Amino acid sequence: MISWVKISICSLDTETKIGKIRNVIKLALRGMSSCACLLAVLAAAGCMKSPQNDRHDDRLRHAAESGDICGMVGNITMRFPSRYTFLGVTYVGVDYWGGKGHLNDAKWCDDQFLNVPLSVTWPEMAPAGGDSWFTSDDPRFIVISIEKNMARDPHAVMAGYLESQSGDGFISTIPRGREEVDAVKRWSDQLGLYMIDANTFSPGNRRKVYWGQSEDGSLSVLIVCEVNIATVRSHCSQTSFDRSRDVWLTIKHRAKLLPEWRDLNKSAFELVDKFTIEKKE
């Protein structure tokens, strides 16, 4: 009897299942049959999926049908075509080191992004087809990373990063204090930024640090450029924090694009807004 009830109900879609199970329970109660009530409950338990399973299936269906990636980062929810991604996105709470299989398959718009790397061409901001500043010397390829903010004081983080990167050492190991930074910094009229040439102790490598300051002294943007003299290869990492979206935005590009830093930042946030489907106020 239980099998018959279960088969007849489980063959229906979810909305109809709920209605049928309610009807069986009503009939059982009307007939004062505890056995029938038990059958209805067992049938429901045997074939009805939990809301969590339904959401899991919905996510898989949405992702498969649209080819899109979706999730929340900071105060915004982003949805965008997967062809924009560079090496894939990461979500909070997923074990990417020890996990197996397609770890992001069940992720959708109500899951939290950890990092969203987008590989695009400049200035079109179109998908780069898998290329980036890392794989190609072509300065047109840039990578934009949108990261979840986990710092209580983002401006203090930016200040600490400036002190570290402007210090001496090939990989900066002797940070400069803020007073020392202020003492040796100089102004670049061409870029409209302060700058420091860090001493890398390596004739073949240079590190240049650029930054903008707001009226309150906080850093609005920080750009660190690494230059290899022998290979003439160079790249810059341009970082800023956006309080309204509560996200970190980093743009990695070739040093040839450094004079375009303002337009790069503006276009990157415009792309983020293009893919934003919801924003918390």
Q: What is the Cα–Cα distance from 249 to 235, expressed in whole angstroms?
A: 16
| Tens digit of each residue's pLDDT (9 = 90 or more) over 208-261 | 999 999 988 899 999 999 988 777 678 999 999 999 999 999 999 999 999 999
The answer to whether residues 31 and 67 belong to one domain is no
The answer to whether residues 149 and 275 belong to one domain is yes
Six token digits for residue 108: 């959708």
The answer to whether residues 116 and 228 belong to one domain is yes
Report, in angstroms and rounded to the nearest whole number, the Rg of the chain calculated over CA atoms. Answer: 27
Which residue segment(s) compose the domain that 186 sits in? 60-279
Residue 39 has pLDDT above 90, yes or no: no
Where does the pLDDT of residue 11 fall: very low under 50, low under 70, confident under 90, or very high at 90 and above? very low
The answer to whether residues 144 and 213 belong to one domain is yes
The answer to whether residues 138 and 206 belong to one domain is yes
Percent of the chain exceeding pLDDT 70 equals 73
The answer to whether residues 234 and 124 belong to one domain is yes
What is the predicted pLDDT for the residue at 172? 59
What is the predicted pLDDT for the residue at 88? 86
Domain count, the chain: 2
Q: In whole angstroms, what separates CA 169 from the centre of its chain?
A: 31
Give the global pTM: 0.76
The answer to whether residues 108 and 37 belong to one domain is no
The answer to whether residues 34 and 116 belong to one domain is no
Where does the pLDDT of residue 50 fall: very low under 50, low under 70, confident under 90, or very high at 90 and above? very low
| Tens digit of each residue's pLDDT (9 = 90 or more) over 171-212 | 656 788 889 999 999 999 999 999 999 888 788 888 999 999
- Cα angle at 214 between 208 and 220, to 5 degrees? 50
The answer to whether 236 touches 132, Cβ cutoff 8 Å, is no
| Tens digit of each residue's pLDDT (9 = 90 or more) over 97-122 | 876 656 777 899 999 999 999 999 99
DSSP 127: B
The answer to whether 131 touches 137, Cβ cutoff 8 Å, is no
